[in-house]
Structure 1
Amino acid sequence: MARQDRSALIVGASRGLGLGLVKALLARGWDVTATARGSAPELEGLAPVAPAIERVDIDDDAAVAGLRDRLAGRSFDVVFIVAGVATDAHVPVPEIDRAVALRVYETNALSPIRAAETLAPLVAPGGLVALMSSVLGSVGANESGGWESYRASKAALNTLTRSFELRHRADPFGMVLMHPGWVRTEMGGADADIDVATSTEGMADVLERQLGRKGCVYLDYRGETLPW
């Protein structure tokens, strides 16, 4: 088995891409701590190597601060904030319930940046803060429309991450905004292009290549740069 000489904190790992990332990194010998909001049978049942599991709701600032305090004294090569929602993504913005749209923005843009700010002290020198974005957050690549509230939330996440990186430019870690591809998950649907393993193995490759690099990059799971 590979040496466990790298470590990751995966925030939002109960299922889908978060769970897939945990599996991919464990298989590479990483020491992984994973979070879930509540019961997470698939995460809890991983074997023969299992992650440490913490409970946290990314929309709860006090809970995220509590996570940081519980992990005080540890450091992680990667802190990857995966959590996100696509509630009523197909409803155009003029028709979507305002409260729903605001919750999507909160969970996809505001909460990840606030969590990144809170958890940044846990990132090891030369490490990375990674956030799950999407090609749908690219303003330049939007030539088809649709998924309006979701697109806007991810575009906001991209903008806030650029600002976060500027505020933390003197700190010894880099930033990765990651597009996982169109993946066959509950959110991506059965007709998506790739499976979870293909996406998460690719993202793990990207993370390993980016370690030690500063700045903020917007990449897909193959390591290709996306237009802002």
Structure 2
Amino acid sequence: MLPPASGRRALLIGAARGLGLALAQEWLRSGWHVVATVRSPGRTRLHDLADAHRENVEIETVDVTVPTQIAALRQRLASRTFDLLFVNAGVTSRPEGTVAETSTEEFVRVMVTNALGPLRVIEALQDLVTPTGTIGVMSSGQGSVANNERGGHEVYRGSKAALNTFMRSYAARHSSDHRTLVLMAPGWVRTELGGSDARLSIEESIPNVVRTLESVQGSPGLHYVDYLGRTVAW
């Protein structure tokens, strides 16, 4: 049985806006204490949330593409423990096109932010998560190789497929670990990243994301699931 939400602690990487901010709000409503990060020190809606809930929301700064910043965050949090580490930071590819049409600079930007950065964060912060806690990453249904029957969004798809593969390697290296590992596909959500044509509102996705994370907590190993708890094909 899960402990009561009150008093549980989440470390959320990437929460300045969109899905990350909504996750912070949802965990806060459930009685969690949330340490959430932004990429730069400028004011965001997360700061408004923290101002309204000073006892339960803390803000840290980290750019997941900068290893020294990840290391500095690890040092600042060295004395802390968390029931959940969730990496939400990510970008989309603009302008859209085939992978061959994408500049090297843009390809590197998307791959480093969406695939390399999250694994660096997890490797650096994993020991802050309790032995029976959860380590999660915001993936995407577009990261599924098996379900890619329409193409499009090639660099973004590739970055999420790479993220999934790297997490499988991480899980294989930690096969004796009792923590729960999650790759979360939140659905196509109307945010700045998802665009205005997306099928789901934040309110339709994020509460279900949180419920799904709760439902798999305590089940060791890697789970690739969507916001409704359905297993996503690799």
**Normalised TM-score (structure 1):** 0.96
Aligned to 1:19: 21
Aligned to 2:224: 218
Structure 2 CA distance for aligned equivalents of residues 68 and 153 of structure 1: 25
Aligned to 1:120: 126
Q: Read off the aligned partner of 1:56 and give its amino acid letter.
A: V
1:135-174 equivalences in 2 (<5 Å): 135-174=141-180
Contact 2:177 2:220 in 1 (8 A): no
Structure 2 CA distance for aligned equivalents of residues 41 and 142 of structure 1: 35
Structure 2 CA distance for aligned equivalents of residues 201 and 63 of structure 1: 30
Contact 1:131 1:178 in 2 (8 A): yes
Aligned to 1:41: 44
The secondary structure found in structure 1 opposite 2:83 is strand
Q: Percent identity over the alignment? A: 45
Per-residue CA deviations over 1:70-112 (Å, capped at 9, x if unaligned) read: 1112111110000111122621111111111111111100110
The secondary structure found in structure 2 opposite 1:94 is helix
Aligned to 1:200: 206
Offset at residue 66 of structure 1 (A): 1.1
Structure 2 CA distance for aligned equivalents of residues 172 and 76 of structure 1: 15
Structure 2 residue 14 is the aligned partner of structure 1 residue 6: no
Alignment root-mean-square deviation, CA: 1.3
Please identify runs of 4+ aligned residues in structure 1 that moved more than 6 A: none
Counterpart selection for 2:71 from 61, 65, 89: 65
Structure 1 CA distance for aligned equivalents of residues 142 and 95 of structure 2: 11
Structure 1 CA distance for aligned equivalents of residues 26 and 155 of structure 2: 30
1:71-150 equivalences in 2 (<5 Å): 71-88=77-94, 90-150=96-156
Unaligned ranges ≥5, structure 1? none
